[in-house]
Chains A and B, each alone.
Chain A
């Protein structure tokens, strides 16, 4: 493979702008897969990805394309599109020389289009603007072209495609070859390969995705991880075409997978540099700064015996998701579990779902919390990522919470409802910029905790799905925060405690107890539910005692049916957590999130 004929690129876009479909079409055009083999969204191999239609895990595929009698090797590195995953985006960008910036022909430039563009420019990538979905009846090419010109592209640079019909794909492939530079780097220098992803395979151990920057790695080489210092024999090298194909070596500029019978997950750190034990590189690649988790929640196995399984699952997931953090925690109500940190709420949901599906562990997730800063009366500071760690009120001198600056892109029709929503979420208006006559960016400063809950869903429903948003952390601000406890049958359930702004506590308390009343099934006795701040009860309701639950008529001696019925009831109970003598279903622990009355 000639280095001059290699192009490493990724596709960046706002969510739903057709990134995965475009990737599919490129695979098809380059003959990597036939149309018949093409499941929709080929690169998204995890079930959840395909179901949710979003890309979570990255992927690298090698494609070949003939152009002017030369064979070119295109490495397409897929990136996730959701705002929670900007960290993973930056990982894939570090392995590329160029990026396709995809914009929906009907929707135009959106919040994440810009965020991703800046990220790509920060990484010194060559960016090719692509207007996709030009087949849509609602496509407005002049408008989108103008928007792209406004953010610094020239008309001539823009490629117009329809991933659906295939129009413009050849032009796009040619632009990739002509505009994106071939990788630099010298394969005679000592090996420097960037680890940009890894997964755990039950048979082969950890499989690492690498981009070779300098030098060459061969099967049989002894490699060394520069950060962790671990050394391993390279057992296999391969590329994805998108079927796995074994190769004997990977040289500077190339992208592929490396396996080395690595069983110890902690030896592999995404962002680390691989070199050879003999003739090592003198310094590591810059890597990238890991993102800090913004949202924390407790994850507990419903069956307490699955605690170790849960630890193993988290370790395996962390392999290709170093932004996931976890440490053991105990709850009086839920037993042993882990306090886990996530980039955002979607990230959290996906991790939960993967643990349940891929590892078969039924989970209870406690309500998510951001990291609060608490200044104590003695002047010391504590960071609080869980309501249970909130110090007693007597020793708290002030509380601070993280604030973000949000950028909300919206058609101007929805300015009113959005401002109302932001006000409700304790936002402070900063300013408003018109992109053109009908489109506007609204900036608000808002507590992160408000965004963590249901802001995104609300925003979508207030604007019929037209608005998009992005946010960045701007630091901590003082806020009058209190810990609200929930009592079931008179006992505080630690896993249901939540930190709220004092002014909103009454309203939240009322909603939460009502919601719990709906979710928790009737028991053999009456169960009071209370919300309290300290010893002060702010809301209360009761779950009435169960009145009727009996096996009735037994037709003609068909008693097996009754046993089955009981077994079903028993199964249902198993999925609940016993707290004191009350059976509480999983969903109850997230009900604390609901901020609106039905």
Chain B
């Protein structure tokens, strides 16, 4: 049963040098047509389920004008929402205004995720972003004042040339904002990004790892509940947990991906196709083994790990019969605790290695 929906707004006023996600320059004319196309997509596919989470991401959703945002929320009003439905929207400080926040509030948005990334001017410049730290403080406190206190701030680290001290300064600034959720990502140089084409050098594995460790220490008052996510007061991102717990979700909009039944799909990244109502780009039909693999990969990113009983209920097989992990437990790479199997906290940052070792132990009976 689908209980979550992701809505993609691909427009940006500026293109960040590291971003390889699906985005286009903001343009009023395109935006109008885009919203209409997306309305049609939602009509075509949405099965009237009651949703627990709605996530409006981008791109930069806050780059839309008030009118366009009004239109967007009208489109989204088709979704049936549960009582505690989490509605998140992503925003950037260079396009967000108090007026837009008021509008969010009016349409039931109860969580805002801000892209801050760094506080350092020279890095912002290389990222092709801009930021006014005073305005950041003002906006955050405004959100809290009008009752949107479920706020996330994104922090990016391991930018070429960045030092450990730079990251520490970023973290202490974010801590001063006193938000309940922080996401941290180490920069990945993706192909086809400006940064990649500029041939910049990544920082050393050591420094990257030191930054990560340092962030973990500085954020000790938060619960590190997923590889890159920290939360206070149980304000976990319900929507992201839907991904990590391998639950179904819709993805609407350009380049969005979704999962329902046996299908994982992704939408076209071509605006032309999308505007011609050719939404779907590819669909992957999942075998039970694919599903089990996703279940393992995704759940092991969280502090809770994977539930053996839930695994058995979903797939009719015991986790240990499909992946013989006892050796990994013996070597200390996995912990088995009651119903759960998880990666020990000290190894989180090497989770790829451990996942590969685990997936190698796959047995088809």
Sort chain A's interface into a size bin.
20 to 34
Contact B208 A548 (CB under 8 A): yes
B257 partner, pick from A524, A551, A556, beta carbons under 8 A: A556
B323-362 contact mask (Cβ, 8 Å, vs A): 1 or 0: 0000000000100000000000001111111111001100
What is the distance, in angstroms, from B322's C-beta to the closest C-beta of chain A?
Answer: 16
Contact A560 B185 (CB under 8 A): no
A557 partner, pick from B206, B249, B349, B355, beta carbons under 8 A: B249
Contact A552 B349 (CB under 8 A): no
Interface flag for A550 (CB, 8 Å): yes
B183-222 contact mask (Cβ, 8 Å, vs A): 1 or 0: 1011010000000000000000110110010000000000
One of A255-263, A458-466, A505-513, A563-571 contacting the partner: A563-571
Contact A552 B185 (CB under 8 A): yes
Q: Which A-chain residue is minimally distant from B354 (CB atoms)?
A: A524
If the complex has contacts A550-B348, A552-B188, are A560 and B209 also in contact, measured as CB distance less than 8 A?
no
Contact B228 A553 (CB under 8 A): yes
If the complex has contacts A563-B297, A566-B355, A573-B360, are A556 and B208 also in contact, measured as CB distance less than 8 A?
no
Contact B251 A550 (CB under 8 A): no
A556 partner, pick from B209, B251, B353, beta carbons under 8 A: B251
Complex-state Cα separation, A573 to B205, whole angstroms: 20
Chain B residues 17-52 with CB under 8 Å of chain A are: 21
Contact A551 B206 (CB under 8 A): no
If the complex has contacts A552-B186, A570-B360, are A547 and B209 also in contact, measured as CB distance less than 8 A?
yes
Chain B residues 233-273 with CB under 8 Å of chain A are: 240, 243, 249, 251, 255-259, 264, 266
Contact B205 A569 (CB under 8 A): no
Complex interface: chain A residues within 8 A of B256 (CB): 556-557
Complex-state Cα separation, A395 to B188, whole angstroms: 58
What is the distance, in angstroms, from B214's C-beta to the closest C-beta of chain A?
Answer: 13
Complex interface: chain B residues within 8 A of A566 (CB): 297, 352, 355-356, 359
Interface flag for B301 (CB, 8 Å): yes
If the complex has contacts A553-B188, A556-B57, A558-B266, are A547 and B257 also in contact, measured as CB distance less than 8 A?
no
Complex-state Cα separation, A559 to B266, whole angstroms: 10
Interface flag for B70 (CB, 8 Å): no
What is the distance, in angstroms, from B34's C-beta to the closest C-beta of chain A?
Answer: 16
Contact A550 B351 (CB under 8 A): yes
Complex interface: chain B residues within 8 A of A562 (CB): 297
If the complex has contacts A524-B350, A553-B185, are A563 and B293 also in contact, measured as CB distance less than 8 A?
yes
Interface flag for B8 (CB, 8 Å): yes
Interface flag for A549 (CB, 8 Å): yes
Complex interface: chain A residues within 8 A of B258 (CB): 557
Complex-state Cα separation, A136 to B354, whole angstroms: 61
Chain A residues 556-598 with CB under 8 Å of chain B are: 556-560, 562-563, 565-566, 569-570, 573
B21 partner, pick from A522, A556, A565, beta carbons under 8 A: A556
Contact A560 B266 (CB under 8 A): yes
Complex-state Cα separation, A522 to B266, whole angstroms: 34
Complex interface: chain B residues within 8 A of A430 (CB): none
Complex interface: chain A residues within 8 A of B251 (CB): 556-557
Report A's interface with B, CB cutoff 8 A.
Answer: 522, 524, 546-560, 562-563, 565-566, 569-570, 573
What are some 30 contacts across the A-B interface (CB < 8 A)? Answer: A524-B347, A546-B205, A546-B353, A547-B208, A547-B349, A549-B350, A550-B186, A550-B227, A551-B301, A553-B188, A554-B240, A554-B243, A555-B57, A556-B8, A556-B256, A556-B257, A557-B243, A557-B256, A558-B257, A559-B243, A559-B259, A559-B264, A559-B294, A560-B264, A560-B284, A563-B297, A565-B352, A569-B352, A570-B356, A570-B360
Report B's interface with A, CB cutoff 8 A.
Answer: 6, 8, 21, 55, 57, 183, 185-186, 188, 205-206, 208-209, 212, 227-228, 240, 243, 249, 251, 255-259, 264, 266, 284, 290, 293-294, 297-298, 301, 333, 347-356, 359-360
7 cross-chain pairs, A with B, having the tightest CB-CB distances, nearest first: A547-B209, A549-B352, A553-B185, A548-B209, A558-B257, A547-B205, A555-B21
